[in-house]
Structure 1
Amino acid sequence: MGTEARLSTGVQTCEFSTHNSDIIQLSAKHLDTGDTFSTYIRPAGGYIPPKITSITEITIRGEQMFYNMTPVESTDTLTGLSSFSEWLKKFNNPVLIAHNAAFDTRIILNSFLHCSVSHSHIHGFADSLKLCKEVFPGHSSYKLSAIIKDILKQDFNAHNANDDVAALADLLQTVDDLPKKLQITLLQEAHNKLNKLKNEIEFLPTYDRYVNEKVLAKTTAKELAGTGLDGRLLQETYRCSGRDGLSELLRNRLVKSAKPITNLSSYFESIYNSACSTASHVQNV
Structure 2
Amino acid sequence: MDDDTSTLTRAKKSLFPDLEKASDRNHVIKNFTSGLYKLRESNKYLTVAIISYFRKCFSYATVQNVGNPVGVRDNILAIVPHVYGDHSKCGDWCKEAEVLNYKHSYKYMGGNDLNNQSLRVVLDRYLERYTTDDMTHKLSNLGSTNGNENMNSMIARKAPKGINYSESESLESRISAAIAQKNKGHQYIIDVNEVHGLSPGKSTRKRFTSLDIRCRKKAERAATVQHKRRRLQLKEERPNVNRVREVEEGTTYTSGVSHIEEADTNEVPSAPDRPKPASEHYSLNDLVVFDLETTGGGDNDSILQILACHLERGTCFTRYAIPTSSYINHHITTLTGLEYHGRTMYKDAQAVDACEIGVALGDFKEWIHNLNTKEPILVAHNASFDGRMLNNAFQRHSVTCSRCVKRYADTLPYFKTKYPGRKGKGAYTLSSLVHEYLPGKQFSFHDADEDVRGLSELLISSHINEEDLKCHLTSVEELTYKSLLKTNKMENIGSYNRAVKNKNISIIVSEKLAESGLGLDHLKTVAGRSGADGVKTLLKSRCGQCRFNVEDIMSEL
- The two structures have a TM-score, normalised by structure 2, of 0.46
Segment of structure 1 superposing worse, 258-267 or 42-51: 258-267
Provide the residue aligned with 2:339 in structure 1.
59
Provide the residue aligned with 2:386 in structure 1.
104
Question: SS of 2:489's equivalent?
Answer: helix
Question: Residues of 1 paired with 2:529 and 2:282: CA distance?
Answer: 54
Provide the aligned C-alpha RMSD in A: 1.8
Relative contact order, higher structure (CA 8 A, sep 6+): 1
1:77 aligns with 2:362: no
- The answer for unaligned runs of 5 or more in structure 1 is 269-285
Deviation at 1:177, TM superposition (A): 4.1
Question: Sequence identity, in percent?
Answer: 29
Q: Relative to structure 1, is the Cα distance of residues 196 and 256 closer, same or farther in structure 2, using a 3 angstrom cutoff?
A: same
1:134 aligns with 2:420: no
Higher CA-based Rg: 2
Give the counterpart letter for 1:159 in structure 2.
H
Question: Residues of 2 paired with 1:260 and 1:165: CA distance?
Answer: 50
Tell me which of 212, 235, 238 is aligned to 2:527: 238
Provide the residue aligned with 1:187 in structure 2.
476
Question: Residues of 2 paired with 1:257 and 1:104: CA distance?
Answer: 31
Where in structure 1 do 4 or more consecutive aligned residues deviate above 4 Å?
none
Deviation at 1:155, TM superposition (A): 2.7
Question: Residues of 2 paired with 1:260 and 1:151: CA distance?
Answer: 52
Provide the residue aligned with 1:164 in structure 2.
451
Question: Residues of 2 paired with 1:6 and 1:59: CA distance?
Answer: 31
Question: Residues of 1 paired with 2:541 and 2:526: CA distance?
Answer: 13
Tell me which of 146, 158, 163 is aligned to 2:432: 146
Give the counterpart letter for 1:136 in structure 2.
Y
- The two structures have a TM-score, normalised by structure 1, of 0.88
Q: Relative to structure 1, is the Cα distance of residues 48 and 66 closer, same or farther in structure 2, using a 3 angstrom cutoff?
A: same
Provide the residue aligned with 1:220 in structure 2.
509
Question: Residues of 1 paired with 2:460 and 2:389: CA distance?
Answer: 25
Question: SS of 1:246's equivalent?
Answer: helix
Instruction: Say how many residue pairs are matched.
Output: 267
Question: Residues of 2 paired with 1:194 and 1:150: CA distance?
Answer: 33
Question: SS of 1:29's equivalent?
Answer: strand
Question: Residues of 2 paired with 1:117 and 1:219: CA distance?
Answer: 36
Provide the residue aligned with 1:14 in structure 2.
295
Provide the residue aligned with 2:213 in structure 1.
none
Segment of structure 1 superposing worse, 38-47 or 134-143: 134-143
Give the counterpart letter for 2:359 in structure 1.
T
Q: Name the structure with the higher strand share.
A: 1
Question: SS of 2:392's equivalent?
Answer: helix
Give the counterpart letter for 2:334 in structure 1.
S
Tell me which of 288, 313, 330 is aligned to 1:33: 313
1:176 aligns with 2:463: yes
Q: Relative to structure 1, is the Cα distance of residues 178 and 213 closer, same or farther in structure 2, using a 3 angstrom cutoff?
A: farther
Question: Residues of 1 paired with 2:307 and 2:549: CA distance?
Answer: 46
Tell me which of 280, 299, 304 is aligned to 1:24: 304
Deviation at 1:248, TM superposition (A): 2.8
Deviation at 1:247, TM superposition (A): 2.0
Segment of structure 1 superposing worse, 167-176 or 259-268: 259-268
Q: Relative to structure 1, is the Cα distance of residues 245 and 113 closer, same or farther in structure 2, using a 3 angstrom cutoff?
A: same
Deviation at 1:230, TM superposition (A): 2.4
Q: Relative to structure 1, is the Cα distance of residues 178 and 230 closer, same or farther in structure 2, using a 3 angstrom cutoff?
A: farther
Segment of structure 1 superposing worse, 163-172 or 184-193: 184-193
Give the counterpart letter for 1:265 in structure 2.
M
The within-5 A match list for 1:79-98 is: 79-89=359-369, 90=371, 91-98=373-380
Question: Residues of 2 paired with 1:37 and 1:209: CA distance?
Answer: 51
Give the counterpart letter for 1:72 in structure 2.
V
Question: SS of 1:65's equivalent?
Answer: strand
Deviation at 1:267, TM superposition (A): 3.7
Question: Residues of 2 paired with 1:85 and 1:202: CA distance?
Answer: 32
1:5 aligns with 2:286: yes
Question: SS of 1:145's equivalent?
Answer: helix
Deviation at 1:227, TM superposition (A): 1.4
Question: Residues of 2 paired with 1:168 and 1:212: CA distance?
Answer: 45
Question: Residues of 2 paired with 1:208 and 1:179: CA distance?
Answer: 47
- The answer for unaligned runs of 5 or more in structure 2 is 1-280
Give the counterpart letter for 1:69 in structure 2.
A
Question: Residues of 2 paired with 1:200 and 1:72: CA distance?
Answer: 39
Question: Residues of 2 paired with 1:76 and 1:205: CA distance?
Answer: 36
Q: Deviations over 1:68-108 (max 9, x none)?
A: 00000111111011111222223321111111111111111
Provide the residue aligned with 1:115 in structure 2.
397
Deviation at 1:260, TM superposition (A): 4.5
